[in-house]
Amino acid sequence: MRVSVLRGIRDVAVEERPTPQPGPGEVLVRVGSVGVCGSDVHYYEHGRIGDHVVRGPLVLGHEAGGRIVGVGEGVDVSRVGQRVSLEPGVPCRHCVQCRAGRYNLCPDVVFFATPPVDGAFAEYVTIAEDFAYAVPDQLSDDAAGLIEPLSVGVWANRKARVGAGSRVLISGAGPVGLVVAQVARARGASEIVVSDVDSRRLEAATRFGATRVLDARDGIPAGLVVDAFVDCSGAPSAVASGCRAVGPAGVAVLVGMGADEVTLPVSLVQNREIEVTGTFRYANTWPEAIALATSGQVDLDGLVTAHVDLDHVVETLDVDPQAGHLKMVVRPGGV
């Protein structure tokens, strides 16, 4: 099979590798679409994310969907031909975190495109069968792959306790911020305020659920009070100003990856009893995410602004930030 391989910083090439074979409890998936994530770009530009360092050739890509074309021992052969969305992190299932249901915090999770585990910029991948979720025919191949970032949005909304009538502030109108907004709308939020510095992304936010948009350079206006703040920007200034807009007993959820340390308005957090929490990927989100996309409450296809094949993956990693793309998608079988 053909794969796109990160061989070093800013060095990507297509290689031929043996097609993987599914082991016991696994399925072989012909990859249809893979969304390009900011983490892929970060590995391409820097060769690391925090403690995760690229020390050898690595296949990027973890937002994947496709079709099952083979099964391993113990897997029902009737699954062959099934279209699926892949949850890219398979946990150990036995540690304290897994047994508590927090498998996203499993220290031994095997996660696509996290060194040294290869990802899905490939024609075929194998994965545990229960992490390959069946999707209905009305979902496109692109949407099947983008269930992964949608799951980030579902998880953020769960952590933020968004429900009917909630007032929500979202910092950052990139793909994750836009799915957070859409999920908030689906959950019945009455006010969804989105801030960003890019006017094109703010315009997109109005199409994807925002009831109000703000230019982040102007700061958060005095008098804005929300029940939940979700930061998808990672910008320290956005985190601090967003927390100040959270009302008593509200929640601040940190999703965006930015500075290792930020300054928080501690006295305000204490006096208002604001809950501040991080998020790390997701757990048990695929069924809800698939249902939201299938029902049309969340539009994933509308986020896609470009398609490339394996020979042009570098174009998605080297993309000019001023080009205005939201979500670029790799189609290993061709566009």
Asked if residue 192 has pLDDT above 90, the reply is: yes
**Class of residue 250 by CB neighbours under 10 A (exposed 0-12, middle 13-18, buried 19+):** buried
Compute CA 215 distance to the chain's CA centroid, rounded to the nearest angstrom. 24
Closest residue by Cα to residue 123 from 286, 25, 1, 274: 1
Closest residue by Cα to residue 232 from 292, 162, 153: 153
Mean pLDDT, residues 15-37? 98
Taking the C-alpha atoms of residue 279 and residue 154, their distance in angstroms, rounded to an integer, is: 11
Mean pLDDT, residues 197-212? 96
Give the E-state strand segments of 163-225 in sequence order.
Answer: 167-171, 191-196, 212-215
Look at residue 260 in the predicted model and tell me its pLDDT: 85
Look at residue 323 in the predicted model and tell me its pLDDT: 73
Look at residue 156 in the predicted model and tell me its pLDDT: 98
Confidence of residue 57 (pLDDT cuts 50, 70, 90): very high
Look at residue 259 in the predicted model and tell me its pLDDT: 82
Asked if residue 40 has pLDDT above 90, the reply is: yes
Mean pLDDT, residues 184-195? 98
pTM exceeds 0.85 for this model = yes
Asked if residue 285 has pLDDT above 80, the reply is: yes
Least confident of 68-72, 234-238, 258-262: 258-262
- One-letter identity of residue 155: W
Taking the C-alpha atoms of residue 324 and residue 258, their distance in angstroms, rounded to an integer, is: 21
pLDDT more than 90, % of the chain: 96
Tell me whether domains 2-146+300-330 and 153-278 share a fold.
no
Look at residue 224 in the predicted model and tell me its pLDDT: 97
Confidence of residue 50 (pLDDT cuts 50, 70, 90): confident
Look at residue 322 in the predicted model and tell me its pLDDT: 64
258: CB partners within 8 A, 6+ apart? 233, 234, 235, 236, 239
Domain layout of the chain by residue ranges: 2-146+300-330, 153-278
Residues 106-157 have pLDDT tens digits of 999 999 999 999 999 999 999 999 999 999 999 999 999 999 999 999 999 9
Residues 205-220 have pLDDT tens digits of 999 999 999 999 999 9
Please give the structure tokens belonging to residue 80.
């062959």
Asked if residue 320 has pLDDT above 90, the reply is: no
Look at residue 43 in the predicted model and tell me its pLDDT: 97
| Gyration radius of the chain over CA positions | 20
Give the E-state strand segments of the chain in sequence order.
Answer: 2-8, 11-16, 26-35, 48-49, 52-53, 63-71, 83-86, 89-90, 110-111, 124-128, 132-134, 167-171, 191-196, 212-215, 226-231, 246-254, 275-278, 304-308, 327-330
Q: Give the CATH superfamily of 2-146+300-330.
A: Medium-chain alcohol dehydrogenases, catalytic domain (3.90.180.10)
Look at residue 2 in the predicted model and tell me its pLDDT: 98
Q: What is the CATH number of domain 153-278?
A: 3.40.50.720
Residues 90-106 have pLDDT tens digits of 999 999 999 999 999 99
Average pLDDT, the chain: 96
Confidence of residue 324 (pLDDT cuts 50, 70, 90): confident
Look at residue 92 in the predicted model and tell me its pLDDT: 98
pLDDT more than 70, % of the chain: 99
Label each residue of 252-297 as H, E or C.
EEECCCCCCCCCCCHHHHHHCCCEEEECCCCCCCHHHHHHHHHHCC
